[in-house]
Each structure stands twice: as C-alpha cells, then as structure tokens.
A and B are shown apart, each in its own frame.
Chain A
C-alpha cells in the first residue's frame, strides 16, 4: 500500500509494460505488448474498437490481470497489486460517478480512503480547477454530460496519481463540447505535469492532445511516435488509413539512387526519397496523403521534383466548404482521393472531366508492410473502381495472349 497511501505524487511516473499478453476464454485481446510511456507525457493509445486498447488500460489500472508479462510504474513492479494499491486513477468512459453522493463527496472519495488531511478543502480545490466548485452540493444526475465528465476528471486528478488513465472520456459529448474539453484536458495536463494515458478511437482527438501516439491494431502496436511523424511517415497500411486517409499504390522497385528509389506502378514511374521509404527493393507499397496532391486539368509540364499520375477522370466531387474532395478513377490504379483547398469559388474540376494529379516527391512515403501479405490494392467496394480494376485486368489478359 506504500505508494497509494503516501503523499501526493510530485510528478508523473514512467509506465512500462513488459511482454504483456491477455487472453480471455476464446480470444486473445493483447499479444506480447512492450510499451514505455515516459513520465509527464500525454500518451494516446489509438485504435479501432476491439483492438485491445481498453484492455491495456484496465490491466494498468489493475481491473484485469495479465496472462503474462509485468507492469511497472515508476520502476516499481505493480503486476500483483490490487487496483486500490496502485498509484493510478481512471476517468471511466461512462464517468462512473457515484449517484448517491454529492459532487463534493465523489471528489473527496479517494482522499478519504487514503485518510489524507483536509479532504474537503482539496476536493473544493480540484473542483475549482475544472470550474465546477459552485455545483459541489449537487448530485451527479443533476449535471450535464460535460459537467459530469469534468467531475470525473476532478475526482481522479485530486488524488495526484502518478499516472492518469482516460478511457474514451469524451466519447459521450457532442462535437463542440468535445473540442472544448480536449483543449481543457491538455491545459490541465500541462498544468499538473502528470503522466496521462488516453485511450481513444478518435484519431483527430489523439492528434490534437497527445505528445506521443501508439496506434494499436489486433492486440499489437503498429506504430508509435509523435502525431506529425505518424501522419507524415506511416509505417503500415493500417496506420496510413486509420490516421487520416492515404492513397496507396503497390509496385516493384526498378531503380535506386543514393537519394531516391523509383517504383514502377502500373507502368508509371513514381519516385520516393530513400529516407521516406521503409523498403528499398522488391515489391513496395507507396503512399501519398490526399491533401498533398495537386489536380491538373491539362497534362502538367514534366518536372523531376514531382510525380505525376494521369490521365484519369473525375468520378465524384464533394464540396465541404473549406475544401473539396475529388474521387478520381485511374484505369489501372483504381480510385485516387484528392483534397483541394477551395482557393477559388467552388470546385475546379467536374465529374467526367479528364485530370492529372501530381505531388512533390518529398511528400510520398513507402510502407514497411510486405505487399504480398496485403491485397495489391486496398480493398475498395466502390463499384466504379471495381469496374475499372476488372477493365484493367481484362486488358492485361488480352495483351498477354
């Protein structure tokens, strides 16, 4: 009990997961997970539902026991400690505020259990931090969703845990409130300097708030790093498409220089800098973000600093105010997505029009995935792209004959 019953944590502590796996009857939630979260960081665990992120959080909180592996907080092994013995607090997805207690008693609960001095004063202080001290006497069910969320945060923060766990705490809020709470959470984290471990499936939320993001898929961490790094240089097709959208093309490396590799993609040569590709020979999947693409209505002048794909034709235009999304069908590459800022009034190209796309060579990236394990082209159920792919396959077959 020494850690939990001691005084307030001065600062956050490192969290280390060593070889963690968790099996439930019938399925494996987490497979040999190693993870280190440095003290004082805002760390996001991002992944689709069922990827094992919430289970990871519950293992750290002590609400589940790992099948194998160890959990260390501040260098101390807590694997066999009960939840109430760990210097960790959780903001639950459903908030889990005690309905039979006032807001103040909810916040003071942890302090009273640890028999700390002046629980009421400290609870008021925590409520002031989340700007809810004027509602201290209310019951949780008399508060709005956003207010309940802030009470849940205050109830966890007041204990000054070495590690604060957030289980999709903003999921139940509407968009505007969520934005506001994201900023508030980030500010509070910087103010108190604790280690935050935030579990979410919302990539935008993770990118806005976290210093470091770990993208989790099927019980494994696919990639970990700063938000910009993950976005600009995704390592796997999963990360490239879970964190924003990507256009992915697969081809064979046909030329290598000291600075770049060129890849033959359905007869078109695409160049990627060596430093931006995880694989440099054989089959590779390369990608580019939709907003990095420029749309041309005439064949662009050949420029060695840019990759060009085309001609292709526009199959869909959706205008969303600040930008326009174009879907472009290429006879052999399938559908390409382009986001264009609306510099002029309205869309510049129309459905059926013939267009070319180009991008700065420095904006492409090469994935570490072995393309043989993935479909050569990302599965696309769009009927037009399927038709385009069938058409391309037929032409190839006729050419061989």
Chain B
C-alpha cells in the first residue's frame, strides 16, 4: 500500500492537538484520586477519600470557595441577564438619544484588558468607601457580564419578526401578555445562551475578582493562592466534578436536540 501524506496528516494532527488539550484535564481528573498528603504532585496511590470527604480538608476552605463562586455566579448571572436583555430589546426596538453611543459603550468592557477593568473598579470602590466583599464581586461580575448578554440577546431580538408581536397585539394581547407569551418565549434560546455564558465567565474569572474581593475567596482565587504551597486533591475533585457536569449537560442537550430533529423530520 502506498503511503499518502495527505491522508494521514489531518488525523495525526487532530489527535495530537486533542491530546495536548486533554492532558491537563485528564491529569486533574486522575490526581483527584491521588492519596496525597500536603501537596498533590506525586502519585501516592488510588483512593476515593478525596471525593467522599471533599469538604473536610483545611476546615472546608475548598468547599467554601466553591460555594462563594456558585453564589456570585448565580446572582451576577441573574442580574446581568435581566438587565442585559432589557438593554438589548431597547437598543433594537426603540429609537432614543445616544442609542448608538450606548451600543458602543457596551462593547468597551469586552475590549478592555481585565487588569485595567479590575484595577479601575477597585479604585472606584476605594474612593467611594465601599468595603470589598461578596457584593463588590457580584457588582464587578454583573458589569462585565451585561456586555456579553446584550451582544448575545441583541442578535436574537434583531432576528425576531416584529409582525409576530403585532399579531399578538392584534389578537387582544395586552403589552405585558404579548411580552410574556410571545416576545419572551421567542427570545428564550438567546437569553439562556447569554445566561450560560455569563455564569461561565463569572465562575472562572480571576483577575477582576482578585482586585475586588477583599478577604472573600472564590474557587479560582483559592486555587491561585494554594498553587504556591500545593493544591490539595480536593480542588481537583471539584474541578473534575464541574467538568463532568458540564460534559453531561452538553451531551444531553445535543442528544435531545438530535432526537427532536429526527421526530420533526418524521412528522414533516
């Protein structure tokens, strides 16, 4: 058989790239089962202890940080999604003064380096005299998440046929009924995507958080701090768990979407 470079180049390259991407994740996953002591660098044998007693190490510091990240992510996501959706609808549907300026300003947090954004915000909190705690982190996260929500939802609003809302009004729907029964359900896929993006951005943000968190520790901040003296295996447990949950969510939605498409094709 003749050897063909073109035939082999792409698969080899793809496998190498994927392996390179997966190694850190696989490493993290495997070392969550390491029977480690203080540092988790050398393999000392398999154990399920870390998974079963994840919150018992260092007085539950890992779990506390993880919990903080969840709370901050949830609150910032809800706040940013609600406000961002309203802004997106306003920008697409209504004409008002400084509309294009607003649109442009909303892009800035995405374009600005996080260090600048975080430091600037920290300086503002300091000058106004706001103590740094959970609230300041939530405010900071909401601020940069709004931009992403607006961009995501705006695309969805722009593609929404205005005749649908007009039909709703024509069919005796009051403005609030038209919003709840027509506009909102039709924007929902965009809003959900925006919310997921917000949560992901908030959950793994380190730079802006570090500037505005005071003594509060989030999961990324905990890992950063403990990296200097050895990350405990419990952190690997939580990281692996988050990865597995995300994987399950993605696979489930893909499979159910494929099943729905198949069902529609059969009906049509």
Contact = CB atoms under 8 A, between A and B. Distances in A.
Interface of A: 4-5, 61-63, 82-84, 88-90, 92-94, 96-100, 109-110, 113-114, 138, 142, 155-156, 159
B165 to A, nearest CB: 9
Contact of A89 (B170, B185, B186, B268): B170
B105 to A, nearest CB: 26
A85 to B, nearest CB: 8
Interface stretch (B171-179, B209-217, B230-238): B171-179
Contact of A113 (B166, B172, B264, B267): B172
Interface string B131-174: 00000000000000000000000000000010110111111111
B163 A84 contact: no
A96 B172 contact: no
A98 B164 contact: yes
Given A92-B166, A138-B267, A142-B267, A109 B171 contact: yes
A83 B169 contact: yes
A145 to B, nearest CB: 14
Contacts of A159: 171-172
B30 interface: no
A83 B163 contact: no
B268 A142 contact: yes
Nearest to B189: A100
Interface string B192-216: 0000000000000000000000000
A110 B171 contact: yes
Contacts of B181: 109
Most chain B CB atoms below 10 A, which of A94, A96, A110:
A96
Given A62-B169, A109-B173, 8 more contacts: A82-B169, A83-B169, A84-B170, A96-B167, A100-B185, A113-B174, A138-B267, A159-B172
Given A100-B185, A113-B177, A142 B264 contact: yes
A96 B267 contact: no
Contacts of B171: 84, 89, 109-110, 113, 155-156, 159
In which size bucket is the chain B interface? 20 to 34
B182 interface: yes
B99 to A, nearest CB: 16
A63 B170 contact: yes
A90 B172 contact: no
A90 B167 contact: yes
B95 to A, nearest CB: 11
Given A92-B167, A96-B163, A84 B173 contact: yes
20 contacts: A5-B172, A61-B166, A63-B166, A83-B170, A90-B167, A90-B170, A92-B163, A93-B163, A96-B163, A98-B164, A98-B167, A98-B168, A99-B164, A99-B186, A100-B185, A110-B171, A113-B174, A142-B267, A155-B171, A156-B171
A88 B170 contact: yes
Contacts of A63: 166, 169-170
Contact of B163 (A94, A100, A109, A113): A94
Contacts of A88: 170
A13 B91 CA distance: 40
Nearest to B167: A96
Interface string B48-65: 000000000000000000
A94 B169 CA distance: 16
A100 B186 contact: yes
Nearest to A143: B268
Given A113-B177, A142-B267, A142-B268, A96 B164 contact: yes
Nearest to B172: A113
A188 to B, nearest CB: 18
Contacts of A100: 185-186
B167 A113 contact: no
Interface string B6-43: 00000000000000000000000000000000000000
A331 to B, nearest CB: 53
B170 A113 contact: no
Contacts of B186: 99-100
A82 B268 CA distance: 38
Contact of B182 (A84, A92, A98): A98
Contacts of B185: 100
A115 to B, nearest CB: 9
A154 to B, nearest CB: 12
Contacts of A82: 169
Interface in B109-146: none
Interface string B250-265: 0000000000000010
A61 B172 contact: no
Nearest to B169: A83
B246 to A, nearest CB: 27
Contacts of A84: 169-174
A95 B167 CA distance: 9
A63 B170 CA distance: 8
Contacts of B168: 98, 109
Which 7 residue pairs of A and B lie closest in terms of their CB atoms, listed nearest first?
A110-B171, A96-B167, A113-B172, A96-B163, A83-B169, A84-B172, A90-B170
